[in-house]
Amino acid sequence: MRVLITGGAGFIGSHVADAFVALGHEVLVVDNLSTGHRENVPSAAEFVEIDLADDGLADVFERFRPEVVDHFAAQASVKVSTTNAIFDLTVNGGGTARIAELCSRFGVRKMIYASTGGALYGNPEIWPVTEEHPIKPLSPYGLSKRVGELYIDFYRRQSGLNATILRYANAFGPRQDPNGEAGVVAIFSGQLLRGAPCTIDGDGEQKKDYVYVADIARANVLALHHGDGEAFNIGTGRGTSVNAIFQTLKAVTGSKADARYGPPRPGDVRDIWLEYAKAKQGLGWEPTVSFEEGLRQTVEAMRAAG
């Protein structure tokens, strides 16, 4: 199939592009490279540097005529969203509306949308969190990703757009930027490999769900042919504290660096992990890479990259 991936030069999107190329699909990556990197794009994929707001994006759709659009391009930082909510909404809400409109206009068979599970539901009432949990985001980021879901639902009702929404837990793995705003595993790995101390937000006992990027890529592959019209949590059903991450990474890297503690991060959910039973039934998906193995692979990749 012809698959267009927005944000395919980024951390998750590039792994998904690799997976689609490996299966023989014709892949076109569009990315403005604001946070992505050209070298992440597989050599077998076509690449167009363009912003979602650029009028020329319609020309890309018209030329390539994608059968599937996998939408990853986003403002992905909770911290940034709390300081610049308008920018966050413009990119995540407005950008997703633009992609959904183009999918409808050019007869795309299916849209796959990268939403959030970690920031969508707010403070959980039950654990693990299911897709039926009330949606009460604590940050503009969670809110803007929900707006994207609602735009997709609007185009489904208006023009019959078929879509699968994947609500990710905290993704981690190779290619995540250790100097970025998001991704505690990447940030701590980079600092510990340099022998630098790590700053833990709050008391470090907050627990989140961490899912390895290869498992996320597999969920996208399965969504090509399954899960029409549905939203699925993509997580592990397990919560891991930031303190535990630090101690495990310290052992894996052999670092002697210590942890420092700072204030809690604004807009952050303290404890959340996701139930994946619906994804298992509707997509045939479940996590296969353990958190500990994922940490080892992440550190090895970071070491190899220098």
140 contacts 81 by C-beta, under 8 angstroms: yes
- Which amino acid is it at 165? I
- Tell me the C-alpha distance between 31 and 34, whole Å: 8
Q: Dump the DSSP string for 40-106.
A: GS-TTSEEEE--TT-TTHHHHHHHH--SEEEE--S---HHHHHH-HHHHHIIIIIHHHHHHHHHHHT
Q: Residues with Cβ < 8 Å from 263, sequence gap 6 or more?
A: 201, 202
Q: Which of 218, 189, 202 is nearest to 305 (CA)?
A: 189
Location of structure tokens 């310290």: 250
HSE toward the beta carbon, residue 127, CA cutoff 13 A: 13
261: annotated active-site residue: no
- Tell me the C-alpha distance between 81 and 258, whole Å: 29
Q: What burial letters (b/e) apply to 89-104, b meaning 16+ CB within 10 Å?
A: bebbbbbbbbbbbbbb
78 contacts 139 by C-beta, under 8 angstroms: yes
Q: Which of 32, 23, 120, 119 is nearest to 73 (CA)?
A: 32
- Tell me the C-alpha distance between 159 and 156, whole Å: 6
Q: Determine which one of 113, 141, 151, 155 is catalytic.
A: 141
Residue positions annotated with a catalytic role:
141
